[in-house]
Structure 1
């Protein structure tokens, strides 16, 4: 059973997916996200779970997605 993603995990996922243009090159990028989350947070997430979370952020959780993007903009 998967646990809820922390804000830090979502931040990492969005950062990788936006930099790598996920919506165009899906397969290779998802492997990077899975490895990065495991390395940085010690969690294993399935590719399907991450795809769903990405979709939810973009389509349903607009405020959370905007918050993540603002944090990423400030860190650059």
Structure 2
């Protein structure tokens, strides 16, 4: 059974990424070119970007899971 601590630790990564992205965007707004890239990525119009983002996301999830496994007594 997954403990509450594990669930909180697994959700910490996306929460921190969202907060960090918001803080960075607050101090340095994205250029129109970057904004366009992000919108196209979110819409799934650039297959290579989608594949790279998926692979990076899976890698982070696997790393967090391994970290949680090591911290679990």
- TM value normalised by structure 1: 0.34
Larger RCO, structure (CA 8 Å, separation 6 or more): 2
